[in-house]
Amino acid sequence: VETNRVEAFSDGVFAIAITLLILGVVVPTSERGRLGHDLLELWPSYVAYGVSFVTIGIIWVNHHEIFRQVGRVDRTLLFINVLFLMLVAFIPFPTRVVADFVRHPGDRRPAALAYGITLTVTALLFNTLWRYVSGKRGLLREDADPRVVSGITRSFIPGVPLYAGSTLLSLVSPIAALVLYGSIALFYVLSSSLFGRDEIGEAAA
Amino acid sequence: VETNRVEAFSDGVFAIAITLLILGVVVPTSERGRLGHDLLELWPSYVAYGVSFVTIGIIWVNHHEIFRQVGRVDRTLLFINVLFLMLVAFIPFPTRVVADFVRHPGDRRPAALAYGITLTVTALLFNTLWRYVSGKRGLLREDADPRVVSGITRSFIPGVPLYAGSTLLSLVSPIAALVLYGSIALFYVLSSSLFGRDEIGEAAA
Amino acid sequence: VETNRVEAFSDGVFAIAITLLILGVVVPTSERGRLGHDLLELWPSYVAYGVSFVTIGIIWVNHHEIFRQVGRVDRTLLFINVLFLMLVAFIPFPTRVVADFVRHPGDRRPAALAYGITLTVTALLFNTLWRYVSGKRGLLREDADPRVVSGITRSFIPGVPLYAGSTLLSLVSPIAALVLYGSIALFYVLSSSLFGRDEIGEAAA
Amino acid sequence: VETNRVEAFSDGVFAIAITLLILGVVVPTSERGRLGHDLLELWPSYVAYGVSFVTIGIIWVNHHEIFRQVGRVDRTLLFINVLFLMLVAFIPFPTRVVADFVRHPGDRRPAALAYGITLTVTALLFNTLWRYVSGKRGLLREDADPRVVSGITRSFIPGVPLYAGSTLLSLVSPIAALVLYGSIALFYVLSSSLFGRDEIGEAAA
């Protein structure tokens, strides 16, 4: 009961951030008679929309998982959660930057960097949230299963290094980094669906 | 209890996607003194807004119906649901494409195709969602009424063929396809209201 | 329990429609050094934002009141509610039209008409919703107080005539009509707060 | 139970207003090859996004705190809450004004004033809300702890003077005022996290 309103507020921000992504897919306004061509040219926007939608979806699933273990909320947790949501709600911005600039070689690197930095900081704050919840006495539910708790802890280990590594990679090859961002999301969904929980696939985000 | 947060998150995405449709009805900015004329000229935007609003509303009603039968949620279901919501949240984009281009003969076909493809994939994912729920042991509520379950299964049969057919029709006659998209929504609402549940009218979406 | 998800979805649409109004208050982009002047010139946007925000707020309060009397939801009610929400979510559009065009005498009439028609149809659908709920056996809660029910019915009588009349008035004097839209909202809030429920002030919306 | 729907609606508005802030961070459209530079130039947008996100987050936390003490809702409370939400949902507008104009000396003062006035009125309405809740017999929960109630009252005292003072300061030094808006948010979060509830840090908002 105690945690209901935090979850509802968080879910609201998740749902809005994920749905606002569509505003980054901009209806073409070029001259008439070329709509078919223009819609095909928009493919980076569709891909960026898909990758960010799935990525925010993954983060939401994991946030869900964390809060199922939470029994009590204090003000520090509320504020860590607000900072974390601040990053989640920011994701539509670098998503659109990547979609708009990925085809221009001179702008690809800063676009990939902006996306990677955003997701790395998101992963960092997500880890902070979980460490605070699992580390402070009295926040976890009394009946929380220690194996589930340590399973979550383990599954969150690869998230920050993966995104930080991809971000660094974008300095060398922005395209490789962008492919990696998409692959992390894809791999996570597939492995999570195919092998169930507590597999390495749960690591991202 | 278990399914509450999935439903709340889904409802959030539905509610935002349906409300964002209004951003596709763009306030005229032409020279002054012509507002009356410009507002009338916007009729394709009003029609597109109405059809997509009702269509998303229908999908929401049916999603509601599915989740009333769900007793337990696993991660695969969560991810199918995220993919499904990704399509629902995409609908405002082809809606605006249709509204902006329907009066230009050379652009009508790709506009009608974009709308139809989006709804066909949405219907496909909706069917996938229901098949997963109804096919995997332990996800349906233990007290789910088998007649309701098979009624839902039956009522979802025509959705994909109807939208796929309309999409193909748009290759021949985009206008006929657009009229059909609107008619499906209208027919569904009318028949569902007039004849109640489990009629053929429940098929769409 | 049964009505929870309808209310949650409706509240979502209300909350988003009311918050999207801010997108109609457009940040000035004129040359630098004139921001103070430009912000003051935006007063019609502030007034329109305020009037529509309060109006949607009133509608939400009354929707709340209706659903407190509802015990069971059927599909027809769901679809009437979807059509009603379609009008509520449309309000940001005429709001912005009024804000953008109120200072241009030649465009004032269609702007006031667009606003009035939207609110008249909203009031009509709201009445339809309540008539359906209160008229069909088995939708009201079994313990619904008949005095509350007839009080709601009585309080909804003036809504449609008031908005229809204001809309007609806009043919003669658009400014008088706009002042009236604002006064209805103001009067409703004040009388409702000062005299409590079931006063004539509850009529609007 | 009685207060659930008010809280859900309020949370919806909070969640949407806070997430819409990202629409104020505008993707650069200047010539190609300068994206890196352009993204760095956007720093005022990032800072404004962060400060307003945290500020709305603080207001949400406090709104949460108030409604935990509320046992019953009347129509006057509903309307005060609507007016209060009207201000919260307005915050994205002055946020973007500040972000767009902070680097132009001639426009800095009106930008800082617009931001300060919005937050001062928000704080005023928030106080009105709490005074109405705590002052009228029968709205507080019967088991509300008097120490918590007077703690909340005490903690809300500095909010209005702080924001009103910062707003006045912006007449003399807009930059100092903007720094102060950010510092209030930062101080509140830090002190609230470090020292727990009922400290002076709870004052803002």
Q: Is C183 on the interface with D (CB under 8 A)?
A: no
Residue type, B203: A
Q: What is the mean pLDDT of chain B?
A: 87
Average pLDDT (D31-56) is 91
The DSSP annotation for A20-55 comes to HGGGGSPPP-S-TT-HHHHHHHTHHHHHHHHHHHHH
Q: What is the pLDDT of residues B165-179, one digit of tens each?
A: 999 999 999 999 999
Average pLDDT (B92-98) is 95
Residue C177 is predicted with a pLDDT of 93
Q: What is the pLDDT of residues C101-148, one digit of tens each?
A: 998 888 999 999 999 999 999 999 999 999 999 888 788 888 888 888
Q: What is the pLDDT of residues A39-63, one digit of tens each?
A: 999 999 999 999 999 999 999 988 9
Q: Is C103 on the interface with B (CB under 8 A)?
A: no
Q: How far is C35 from chain D (nearest CA, A)?
A: 5
Q: Does D66 or C30 have the greater pLDDT score?
A: D66
Q: What is the pLDDT of residues D154-191, one digit of tens each?
A: 888 888 999 999 999 999 999 999 999 999 988 888 77
Strand partners, C140: C70
> What is the C-alpha separation between B3 and A186, in angstroms, rounded?
24
Helices D146-156, D105-135: inter-axial angle, 10-degree rounding = 160
Q: How far is B22 from chain C (nearest CA, A)?
A: 6
- Nearest chain C residue to D89, by CA: C19
- Nearest chain A residue to B110, by CA: A36
Q: Is C92 on the interface with B (CB under 8 A)?
A: yes
| pLDDT tops 80 at residue B109 | yes
Q: How far is CA C133 from CA B73, C13, C128, C198, in A?
A: 33, 20, 9, 19
- Helix (H) / strand (E) containing B148: helix B146-155
Instruction: Rounding to the nearest 10 degrees, give the CA dihedral for residues B128, A26, C49, B38.
Output: -110
Q: How far is C106 from chain B (nearest CA, A)?
A: 5
A165 CB-near residues (< 8 Å, 6+ apart): none
Q: What is the mean pLDDT of chain A?
A: 87
Average pLDDT (C173-198) is 81
- Helix (H) / strand (E) containing B144: none
pTM metric for this prediction? 0.89
Lowest mean pLDDT segment, chosen from B97-106, D39-48, D134-143, D166-175: D134-143
Q: Quick one: tokens of D116?
A: 């300060």
> What is the C-alpha separation between D55 and B118, in angstroms, rounded?
39
Helices D159-172, D105-135: inter-axial angle, 10-degree rounding = 160
Nearest to A119, CA basis, from A28, A63, A55, A168: A55
> What is the C-alpha separation between B37 and C110, in angstroms, rounded?
9
- Nearest chain D residue to C52, by CA: D86
Average pLDDT (D109-126) is 95
Q: Quick one: tokens of B159?
A: 């959705």
**If you search the block for the tokens 């139970």, which residue do you land on?**
D1
Strand partners, A140: A70
- Nearest chain B residue to C110, by CA: B36
> What is the C-alpha separation between D80 and D89, in angstroms, rounded?
14
Q: Is A100 on the interface with D (CB under 8 A)?
A: yes
ipTM rounded to 2 decimals: 0.88
Tell me whether residues A9 and D14 touch, CB distance under 8 A. yes
Nearest to B89, CA basis, from B118, B112, B124, B69: B118
CA dihedral for A203, A204, B4, B7, sign (positive or negative): negative
Residue B29 is predicted with a pLDDT of 79
Strand partners, A70: A140
Q: Is D75 on the interface with C (CB under 8 A)?
A: yes
Tell me whether residues C96 and B197 touch, CB distance under 8 A. no
Helices A174-195, A43-68: inter-axial angle, 10-degree rounding = 50
Tell me whether residues A17 and D22 touch, CB distance under 8 A. yes
Residue D16 is predicted with a pLDDT of 94
How many separate helices (H) and strands (E) can be counted in chain A?
Answer: 9, 0
Give the neighbours of chain A: at least 3 Cβ pairs within 8 Å: B, D
> What is the C-alpha separation between C3 and C25, in angstroms, rounded?
35
Residue B45 is predicted with a pLDDT of 94
Residue D65 is predicted with a pLDDT of 85
